[in-house]
Amino acid sequence: MDWTISWWAWIVLGFGLALLELTTPGGFYFLFFGVGALGVGLLAWPGLVEDTAFQLMIFSVLSVGSSLILRKPLLRRFGPKTPDIEVDSMIGETAIAMDDIDVNGFGKVELRGAAWNARNGGEQKVTRGQRCTVQRVDGLSLWVRS
Q: pLDDT 10s digit of each residue in the chain, 146 long?
A: 467 788 899 999 999 998 998 888 767 889 899 999 999 999 999 988 888 899 999 999 999 999 999 888 988 888 777 666 555 688 899 999 999 999 999 999 999 899 999 999 989 999 999 999 999 888 888 999 98
Return the pLDDT at 84: 61
DSSP bridge pairs for 116: 109
Q: Which of 31, 33, 101 is nearest to 62 (CA)?
A: 33
Cα torsion 53, 59, 65, 68: sign: negative
DSSP bridge pairs for 106: 119
Return the pLDDT at 93: 92
Distance in angstroms (rounded) separating the CA atoms of residues 5 and 40: 10
Q: Which amino acid is at 53?
A: A
Return the pLDDT at 1: 45
Using DSSP bridges, classify how beta strands 114-120 and 141-145 pair: parallel, antiparallel or unpaired: parallel
- Class of domain 94-145 (CATH, top level): mainly beta
Residue-range domain boundaries for the chain: 7-78, 94-145
Indicate left, alpha or beta for 94 from its phi (over 0: left) and psi (-120 to 50: alpha).
beta
Return the pLDDT at 21: 87
Return the pLDDT at 85: 58
Can you tell me whether residue 18 is helix, strand or coil?
A: helix
DSSP bridge pairs for 107: 118
